Amino acid sequence: MRKFGTLANQELAQKLTDYLLIQQIVVSAEESSQGTWDMWVRDEDKLPIARGVMDRFLSDPNAAEFQQASQQAKQIRKLQAAEAQRRAKLVRKMPQGAGPGMFLSRPIPVTIGVIVIAIIASLLTKFGEIRGGLAYRIVDGNVVVQDEPFGLKLYRAMMMVDPLDYRYTDNKDPLAEIRKGQVWRLITPIFLHGSIMHLAFNMLAMYSLGGIIERLHGSWVLLLLTLGTGAIASLVQAFTPAALGGSPIALGASGAIFGLFGYLWVRPMLEPMFPIRIPQSSVVMIMGWMFLCMTPIIPNVANAAHVGGLLAGIAVVPLAIKFWPVR
């Protein structure tokens, strides 16, 4: 704290304190042994501003800008008191011993479940590999493969569209299978991956981000957030023009991963008491990776799904603040 002036009495000190408060400059006033009031500014970076205001105040303490400050300052202090009371309630609600150890000991069954399902599905479908030389015929607008292996059947059933039908028939409707009632196709592509590295990268991110959200909010919230942002990411990717890289033949959990990231990134901005904040360096790295994937350096990436998932995760934050409190 730095002293920036002296005033003759408490009334003047209070009036100046009120004015500086509405300027977002926190000061304190202390009575000296001579009966005057010393003024101290908390943030030294604000010292030049405080001194400038002091000079104006001493020249005309009854100026309109100072006279009108009292009511505004009273409202600010009222809001500050309410916020302090809310924080005190949160502290009282926290169980004894709650800390990093207790937080990390909370089970994360949905996070683990998503990882296990993704590993099994990716291995069974051989990472989406469709070998050449398949004997097939088209029946009623659908591709029928002779002696179709189980992995290929599963892959075709889990993608948003049947990749063989989409490739070899005239049906280019991204919702063709979903219109038939196969609504699971909106979410099952998040469990499929195109390579071991693709799977490993996404599941490490799922373990980190999903684990945090599940420990904070519980399993149902993570499940809803993962499937919801994943479905939106798939739809955005499917309906983005092909010239911009859109296609319904896309797989991977990265859209949902970006949704979880967007949620954890933005919620602390709108709710300062939220206990988790993603480090700025990590935000720069993740966003940098997203934009790098949009360049020719890293081709064949579902960029529209990344953007769609990210925006979906951000959009849900205002509702989450109201309906998803921290456990």
Please answer whether residues 143 and 169 qualify as being in contact, where contact means their C-beta atoms are separated by less than 8 angstroms.
yes
pLDDT at 85: 78
If the chain, 327 residues long, is cut into consecutive pieces of 10 residues, what is the mean pLDDT of each piece?
Answer: 92 93 91 92 90 93 89 88 73 48 80 97 90 72 86 94 90 93 96 96 96 95 97 96 93 97 95 89 95 93 96 96 85
Q: If DSSP states are collapsed to H, E and C, what string results for the chain? A: CEEEEEECCHHHHHHHHHHHHHCCCCEEEEECCCCCEEEEECCHHHHHHHHHHHHHHHHCCCCHHHHCHHHHHHHHHHHHHHHHHHHHHHHHHCCCCCCHHHHHHCCCHHHHHHHHHHHHHHHHCHHHCCCCCCCEEEECCEEEECCCCHHHHHHHHHCCCCHHHHHHCCCCCCCCCHHHCCHHHHCHHHHCCCCHHHHHHHHHHHHHHHHHHHHHHCHHHHHHHHHHHHHHHHHHHHHCCHHHCCCCCCCCCHHHHHHHHHHHHHHHHHCCCCCCCCCHHHHHHHHHHHHHCCCCCCCCCCHHHHHHHHHHHHHCHHHHHHHCCCC
pLDDT reported for residue 6: 94
pLDDT for the residue numbered 102:
59
Q: Could you give the CA distance from residue 38 to residue 41 in angstroms, rounded to a whole number? A: 10
pLDDT at res. 92: 46
Query: Over the stretch 67-103, which tens digit does the pLDDT of each residue have?
Result: 888 888 898 888 888 877 776 665 544 444 445 555 6
Task: Spell out the domains of the chain, with CATH numbers in brackets.
Answer: 2-93 (3.30.70.2350), 107-126+185-323 (1.20.1540.10)
Instruction: Give pTM, 2 decimals.
Output: 0.70
At residue 133, the pLDDT reads 58
The edge-to-edge listing of strands for the beta sheet with 27-31 is 2-7, 37-41, 27-31
> What pLDDT score was predicted for residue 97?
44
Mean pLDDT taken over the chain = 90
Question: Residue 103's pLDDT is what?
Answer: 65
